[in-house]
């Protein structure tokens, strides 16, 4: 689902075409990638704020490019504590990875910030 308009896409593509002297097809692809990257960053920021407050249902793509819908949280009081140790990665492996507690499966998981698809709520 695109959150940018066609006019934004074509105006950026025309600007790229003039500056970089590339074909219309290549300029369109570059413009689309730039706009999607900006939208994914905004989506990640929005999701991060929501997960700090409550459980949030969202969809992301894994390494095999399959869409996964799950419910995650970053609220400490929603994460069980006690005798059971929670499995999964507790620290991000790089700057583009976000770690969260998966409420459905009871483990820590991570997702790539660029591979967010949508927030289901």
Burial of 54 (0-12, 13-18, 19+ CB in 10 A): exposed
CA atoms lying within 13 Å on the CB side of residue 10: 3
Q: Which residues contact 46 (CB under 8 A, 6 or more apart)?
A: 119
Q: Give percent of the chain with pLDDT exceeding 90.
A: 48
Mean per-residue pLDDT, 16-35: 89
Q: What are phi and psi of 59, to 5 degrees?
A: -125, 135
Q: Are 112 and 97 in contact (CB under 8 A)?
A: yes
Q: Is residue 17's pLDDT more than 90?
A: yes
Please list the residues that pair with 99 across neighbouring strands: 110
Maximal CA-CA distance, the chain: 62
Q: pLDDT tens digit string along 88-119?
A: 988 998 888 999 999 999 999 999 888 888 88
């Amino acid at each position: 689902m695109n959150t940018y308009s066609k006019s934004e896409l074509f105006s950026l593509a025309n600007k790229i075409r003039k500056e970089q002297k590339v074909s219309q097809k290549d300029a369109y692809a570059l413009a689309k990638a730039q706009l999607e990257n900006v939208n994914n960053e905004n989506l990640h920021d929005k999701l991060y704020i929501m997960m700090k407050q409550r459980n949030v249902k969202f969809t992301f793509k894994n390494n095999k490019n399959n869409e996964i819908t799950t419910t995650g949280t970053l609220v400490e009081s929603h994460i069980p504590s006690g005798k059971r140790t929670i499995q999964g990665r507790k620290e991000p492996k790089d700057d583009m990875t976000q770690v969260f507690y998966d409420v459905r499966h009871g483990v820590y998981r991570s997702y790539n910030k660029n591979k967010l698809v949508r927030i289901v709520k």
